[in-house]
Structure 1
Amino acid sequence: MRPDRTRVIASAPALLKHGVLLVTGGLVLVPFVWMLSLSAKSPQDIFSRRWTLWPRDLSIVDNYETALTATPLARYMANGLIVCGSILLLQIIVCAPCAYALAKLRFPGRDLAFGGVLVALLLPHQVLSLPLFILANRLGILDSYLGLIFPYMVSPFGIFLFRQFFKSIPDDLIHAARLDGLSDFTIVWRIVMPIALPALLAFSIFSVVSHWNDLFWPLTAVRDQSLMPPSLGVLAFRNEETGSAYGPLMAAATIVVTPLLLAFLAAQRFFIEGLAAGAVK
């Protein structure tokens, strides 16, 4: 068999793998491309019988101007930053010490506690929505920032991810820190968390994307328009009587999604590194 033919046969699995990845990636991008296309079209173009990806009647300026002026979109995005930032900060404060205890401390019931974390990972958050709503109502925190934040203060996924990463840190480093007189609490924040920066960035992306796009709980807990996050605010363009303004709606969706895409692209290397390090264990 000739060397060239042997080389082609050997590279066939790699070519097939890359082909599957390209097709899958293309399918993932289709909704985003269609969203951008609709955000630039006029209503007549959107509802035309003739399907086109490129707008025939370009209305990009009108759609984006309507998206920014018809509703307080900037306020919605500011609410999203407040809510997502507060949730992320509280999750890190709670999850990091819990993960450290499960990874580096020995105490009765440790494995049982970790099993509880795994069970919590399997439960959809919607399962707990009714008791959480009743609790929030009893506490009087509905229709407030605290009402949007408190159900997500503890993240089972965050505990799991940090625990897996902390397991990869040598125990000798922890013992040396204890010999220097550092408490476990100090070790978590001054030694372990700086090392776990890739896992922290990976979890931050997961957390912010999840809660930035969350619609179910804000739709349940918030009625005041001034407190609505972006996912709930864009629904203002939907009207069952007069019909949805799809052009401005897609323009608003594009504005809301853009910060997430930019953040992911900026932290992509750390995101993959953090997930890979956690998967080793």
Structure 2
Amino acid sequence: MYICDLYDKELKYYCQRYSNNSNPAFTDQEIMTIYLFAGHCQKYFQIKDIHNFASEYLSSWFPELPSYQTFNLRLNRLDEAFRVLSQRLISSFMPADCDNGISLIDSLPVMTCAGRNRQGKVAREITSKGYCSTKNQYYYGLKLHALTLRREGKILFPDSLMFTPAEDNDLTAFKQLWGDHICDTRIFGDKIYSDFEYFSDDKKQKQNIEMFTPVKTVKGQSEQERQSRKAYNDLFSSAVSKIRQPIESFFNWLNEKTTIQRAQKVRSTKGLLIHTMGKIAIAFIYLIF
């Protein structure tokens, strides 16, 4: 019912047809409902598994269910609808206990293939080669950038989620996506977000934002100076890492709920968009219930 209501209000404008088959017997609402139900409730994430489950157990609810090939084709045309759905789920059901004054930021690789010498052949127009330092692994795919809000004693909640090609630097992506738009918050990130020149006193005064990262070694710094500040730097870095640790838990939770990081079986650009946007919708559809 939620999908049907939102589709009639908004989603239909992102997947509207202008052909003689503009009102098919098996509707877009039914496709989205099956995809979300099978993923959220049954933990089926492969399109073939979702179709088999619907065909075997949900035939009385969806008597016009088409063949797997048609179902897959129709689903891949709904990538924009799933993107808007994900946005609405996050913006409409934000928990009241989110701390708007503290934000945590990081990125998660979404891999279409992995390996130093592997060449990605899927969705080349939106993917690229990147390196995941956490896994010490080269891969082809996307990066999911998450700017999240802190919640005391609970899993973080995303304020904004963005995808970029894997080669994009996290700091550069932050500057392009959020740098001039966010205000009145303290941000905790990894060392890669350390840029004293960008996060200057001038930016602090204009937007009231501060970026806290573990202390990054200064190139050319003498050993004597490094040792003199070692105790302070270690304590500060430990404090920042402790505060930003929940974002790792957030990514682990998202990956356990949806396997969003593994996109090796995707075979097209639209399929990759469904894999990413659809998985985010699956993860946050629980907010309604």
TM-score > 0.5, shorter chain as reference: no
Flag the structure with more relative contact order, 1 or 2, with Cα contacts below 8 A and sequence separation at least 6: 1
Give the structure with the higher percent helix: 1
As a proportion of its length, which structure holds more strand? 2
TM range (shorter): under 0.3
| TM-score, length of structure 1 as denominator length | 0.28
Of structures 1 and 2, the larger Rg is shown by: 1
